[in-house]
Amino acid sequence: AQSVSQHNHHVILSEAASLELGCNYSYGGTVNLFWYVQYPGQHLQLLLKYFSGDPLVKGIKGFEAEFIKSKFSFNLRKPSVQWSDTAEYFCAVAIGGGGADGLTFGKGTHLIIQP
């Protein structure tokens, strides 16, 4: 079974700092990759996704992620964070094609931005 690893469970940054959240997965074949975000008191929502094509994908609110196949990674980045980025971030992976195993989520990274 595939697994997803998010390296940092808690990250604290100051406003305007740069952000990079790590995500690695274990499956060696074709994958679909997602980052979801859960703002305080809100539902989980999609931040960005990668299915194929350009490995650098852009999402909402200035976030981007880069798929590096050789490293089995899909790290999330933002050049300058804001207080409103405080949230829990989840990386998720689905096996490409049929997605027979559903979506596998990482355990999440709790990001706190200090004003």
Partner 1 sequence: KAGVTQTPRYLIKTRGQQVTLSCSPISGHRSVSWYQQTPGQGLQFLFEYFSETQRNKGNFPGRFSGRQFSNSRSEMNVSTLELGDSALYLCASSSSTAAKNIQYFGAGTRLSVL
| Binding residues vs partner 1 (CB under 8 A) | 1, 32, 36, 43-46, 49, 51, 90, 92, 94-96, 98-108
In the complex, least distance from residue 107 CB atom to partner 1, rounded to whole angstroms = 4
Coil, helix or strand for 44? strand
Shortest separation between residue 39's beta carbon and partner 1, angstroms: 12
Taking the least distance from each CB to partner 1, the nearer of 69 and 83 is 69
> What is the distance between the alpha carbons of residues 50 and 61, in angstroms, rounded to a whole number?
17
Three-state SS across 47-58?
EEEECCCCCEEE
